[in-house]
Amino acid sequence: MLGVKLICCGKLKESFYKEACAEYEKRLQAFCRLTVTRVPESDLKKESEAIMGNVPQGAYLIAMCIEGRQISSEDAAKKLTELQNRGVSQICIVIGSSEGLHESVKARADARLSMSHMTFPHHLAQVMTLEQLYRALSINAGGKYHK
Residue 33 has what pLDDT?
Answer: 98
Q: Kind of pairing, strands 3-9 and 90-95?
A: parallel
In this prediction the pTM is 0.95
Between helix 122-140 and helix 15-28 the angle, nearest 10°, is 20
> What is the share, in percent, of the chain residues with pLDDT greater than 70?
99
Euclidean distance between CA atoms 125 and 111, whole angstroms: 17
Please write the tens of the pLDDT for every residue from 20-69. 999 999 999 999 999 999 999 999 999 999 999 999 999 999 999 999 99
Is residue 8 within 8 Å of residue 105, measured between CB atoms? no
Sheet of 111-113: strand order equals 33-39, 3-9, 90-95, 60-69, 111-113
Secondary structure (H, E, C), 70-129: CCCHHHHHHHHHHHHHCCCCEEEEEECECCECCHHHHHHCCEEECCCCCCCCHHHHHHHH
Q: Residue 147 has what pLDDT?
A: 66
Domains and CATH numbers, the chain: 3-76+85-140 (3.40.1280.10)
Percentage of the chain modeled with pLDDT above 90: 92
Which of the four pLDDT bands, split at 50, 70 and 90, describes residue 99?
very high
